[in-house]
Amino acid sequence: MAFRANIQRLGGPEVIEWVEEPIPVPAEGEVTVRHETIGVNYTDIYHRTGEYPVPVPTGLGVEAAGVIEAVGPGVTSFNVGDRVVYGGRPLGSYSTARTMPIERMVGIPDDISSEKAASLLFKGLAVEYLIRQCYPVKPDEIVLFHAAAGGIGQIATQWLSHLGAKVIGTVSSKEKADIALSNGCIHAINYKTESFPERVKEITGGRGVDVVYDAIGKDAVEQSFQCLRPRGMLVNYGNTSGAPAPLDFKILQRNSLYVTRPSIANYASTRAQIEKASVVVFDMIRKGVIRSDKPLRYPLKDAAKAHSDLEGRKTTGSVILVP
């Protein structure tokens, strides 16, 4: 039997329910995984609220690490007892165990813990495509990264600093500013008390930044365009404050700006792409370039509390659930 989260309707954290049900026997190309650690991502909130449409009823969660308990026909890349981690659909990682396809699953190296894998891999894969593929950041380029103390923000700041980029981070508190600076930001702007476009102009001597990475959406997009140098790029990869207003292309025309709204589904859509990117992310973890020294832990049954805290911007770094 498995204990798992389920939602019958879209809404706030209160719609998360818990059910106990049998674990299906793995079919062709599937395995059964007993979860050890489950990653919490803002994507889970988008699914719960309907920002990213999903049919209901549905499970929740796209990331977990655990041990394989059963292997279905045709599976040759994994065996019973292997430690694995996965990220992506089908939804349902908020569970003690599940049976699922192996397409988005990779083995965990022996020198990396399940907790690190679950708290860092999916976010690391997101950062990998953002800074190495979507806009390949070069040494000495100036980057503005919103929510720099968040789960993705911390990993990105660490990795960008390692690449030699100059990172300006935005945060919502003094505590989060300290975290951003400790991870490699050259400046941390508290957008609650300062105008970040004005501070960016001051920091860059009026030049502007080469690229802005934004997961805030409505509350940040318009001002983010003001921070870019001519021919700079805005990468909007999330909408924690809501969807931005429809784009007025005249904003782009003034400085020949670029904007993109990428999805990891288009950058890590095949097993080969996921495995290739995972090798890079695991190497960054192994070298200590990216890290999550103290992921915020919640019991699995408290997933609603984890969602509430994440939405309320009460968390920093990675958030995990423990069965």
Task: Decide if pLDDT at 57 tops 90.
Answer: yes
Asked whether the predicted pLDDT for residue 318 surpasses 90, the reply is no
Cα distances (angstroms) measured from residue 282 to each of 67, 133, 178: 18, 17, 26
Cite the residue boundaries of each domain of the chain with CATH code 3.40.50.720: 139-261
Q: What is the pLDDT of residue 271?
A: 86
CB–CB of 290/128 below 8 Å?
A: no
- Mean pLDDT score, 309-323: 91
- Tokens of residue 280, six digits: 């890079």
Mean of pLDDT over the chain: 95
What pLDDT, in 10s, does the model give residues 102-142? 999 999 999 999 999 999 998 999 999 999 999 999 999 99
- For residue 265, the model assigns a pLDDT of 84
Is pLDDT of 270 > 90?
Answer: no
Residue-level pLDDT at 268: 86
Dig out the tokens for 316 from the structure. 């920093």
In the chain, which residue ranges form alpha helices assigned H by DSSP?
42-49, 114-129, 151-163, 174-182, 196-203, 221-225, 249-255, 271-286, 303-311
Topology of the domain covering 139-261: Rossmann fold (3.40.50)
Q: What is the DSSP string of 222-290?
A: HHHHTTEEEEEEEEE---TT-PPPPP-HHHHHHHT-EEE---GGGTS-SHHHHHHHHHHHHHHHHTTSS
The answer on pLDDT for 307 being more than 90 is: yes
Predicted confidence (pLDDT) per residue in 30-47, tens digit: 999 999 999 999 999 999
Task: Give me the mean pLDDT over the 52-74 stretch.
Answer: 96
Residue 207 has pLDDT above 90, yes or no: yes
Predicted local distance difference test score (pLDDT) of residue 145 = 98
The answer for residues whose C-beta is within 8 angstroms of residue 199's C-beta and 6 or more apart is: 168, 187, 189
Q: Look at residue 181 and tell me whether its pLDDT is greater than 90.
A: yes
Asked if residue 178 has pLDDT above 80, the reply is: yes
pLDDT for residue 13? 98
168 — pLDDT class (breaks 50, 70, 90): very high
Where along the chain do the CATH 3.90.180.10 domains lie? Answer: 2-121+268-322
Those residues with Cβ within 8 angstroms of residue 257's Cβ, 6 or more apart along the chain or in another chain: 225, 228, 230, 231, 232, 233, 234, 251
Domain spanning 2-121+268-322, CATH architecture: Alpha-Beta Complex (3.90)
Grouping H, G, I as helix, E, B as strand and the rest as coil, residue 54 is coil
Residue 292 confidence (pLDDT): 78
Rounded Cα distance, 94 and 79, in Å: 23
Looking at residue 316, its pLDDT comes to 83
pLDDT of residue 252: 95
- The confidence score (pLDDT) of residue 14 equals 97
Residue 288 CB neighbours (<10 A): 9
Judge whether residue 257 has pLDDT over 80.
yes
